[in-house]
């Protein structure tokens, strides 16, 4: 039996989680039967990750793990007013919120964040969105165990 293709295995792993470290991918590739040297696998990881990131940037598509991470982070994000009671901007809060948004963009991209924001608005607010999110998570979890 021949060893599986490095690129096929690496692409499957990165499609599941584009932020997985090269070392983790090497270990998982080994368990899937890839026998190539670690340096070869690492090169393929960097090349395919770069290709996937470019594709995501151009097409606006998002990988499954990114959707889950961004939705969870957006749901857990604290919402703080960005103005003081006297109407002046609270710069610490503004910068904190900008940092939070930046971290979410790194996880899922601008397109996904826009979709999440629109979904929250369409659902009627954060609480309703979170209820829908919990419902979908429960359904998906029960589908995996069935």
Q: Which residue has the higher pLDDT, 63 or 108?
A: 108
| Mean pLDDT of the 104-114 span | 79
Of the ranges 20-34, 56-70, 91-105, 109-123, which is most confident? 20-34
Three-state secondary-structure class, residue 135: helix
Band the pLDDT of 24: cuts 50, 70, 90. very high
Helix axes 126-145, 110-123, angle to 10 degrees: 110
Q: How far apart are CA 21 and CA 14, in angstroms?
A: 9
Checking 89-98 for CB contacts under 8 A at 24+ apart, the result is none
Q: Which of 33-42, 49-58, 64-73 has the lowest mean pLDDT?
A: 64-73
pTM of the model: 0.44
Residue 43: the pLDDT is: 92
Residue 130: the pLDDT is: 82
């Amino acid at each position: 039996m021949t060893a599986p293709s490095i690129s096929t295995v690496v692409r499957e792993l990165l499609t599941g989680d584009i932020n997985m470290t090269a070392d983790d991918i090497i270990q998982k590739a080994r368990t899937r039967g890839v026998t190539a040297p670690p340096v070869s696998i690492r090169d393929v990881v960097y090349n395919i990750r770069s290709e996937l990131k470019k594709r995501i940037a151009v097409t606006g598509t998002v990988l499954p793990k990114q959707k889950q991470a961004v939705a969870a982070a957006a749901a857990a994000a604290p919402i703080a007013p960005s103005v003081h009671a006297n109407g002046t901007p609270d710069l610490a809060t503004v910068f904190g919120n900008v940092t939070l948004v930046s971290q979410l963009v790194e996880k899922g991209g601008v397109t996904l964040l826009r979709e999440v924001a629109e979904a929250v608005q369409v659902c009627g607010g954060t609480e309703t969105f979170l209820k829908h999110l919990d419902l979908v998570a429960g359904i998906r979890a029960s589908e995996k165990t069935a």
